[in-house]
Amino acid sequence: MARRNRQQVPAGRRSVSAPLAGKPKSQSGGDPVDRRKGVRRLTGFAGEVRGELAKTDFPNRHQTWQSTSVVLAACVLVGLYLYGLDQVFARLVQHLVDLQN
């Protein structure tokens, strides 16, 4: 039996590195964007920012208060935990220093 050196790729499948139509695509999958200069570039950017902010769902006052209280409670709990560990290790070190003397 003859040995095959290359595996045959099924019809319809391409290599991942093969370009689609001879020209490389951008990382995002779209066509490259024309670069504008100066004030037009700045106004275009500002328009894109406003468009993206219009899609954003901002939290209301109640959601903000809930999130803030969860973060503060977590900070207090972690602070108390670290304070407790600090006290334990401080006493342990003090005990070891007393044994040396």
- 85 located within any domain: yes
pLDDT recorded at residue 41: 83
- 90 located within any domain: yes
- 19 located within any domain: no
- 93 located within any domain: yes
User: How many CA atoms, within 13 angstroms, populate the side-chain half-sphere of residue 6?
Assistant: 3
84 lies in which domain range? Answer: 74-101
Give the Cα separation of 41 and 49 in Å (integer). Answer: 12
Q: Which two tokens stand for residue 38?
A: 């100066």
- 80 located within any domain: yes
Q: Each residue of 7-27: pLDDT tens digit? A: 555 555 555 555 555 665 556
Give the Cα separation of 21 and 52 in Å (integer). Answer: 32
Q: Which helix (H) or strand (E) holds 71?
A: helix 61-100
Q: Give burial (CB, 10 Å; 0-12/13-18/19+) of 1.
A: exposed
pLDDT recorded at residue 42: 84
- 79 located within any domain: yes
- 96 located within any domain: yes
- 101 located within any domain: yes
Residue 38: pLDDT band (50, 70, 90) is confident
Number of domains in the chain: 1
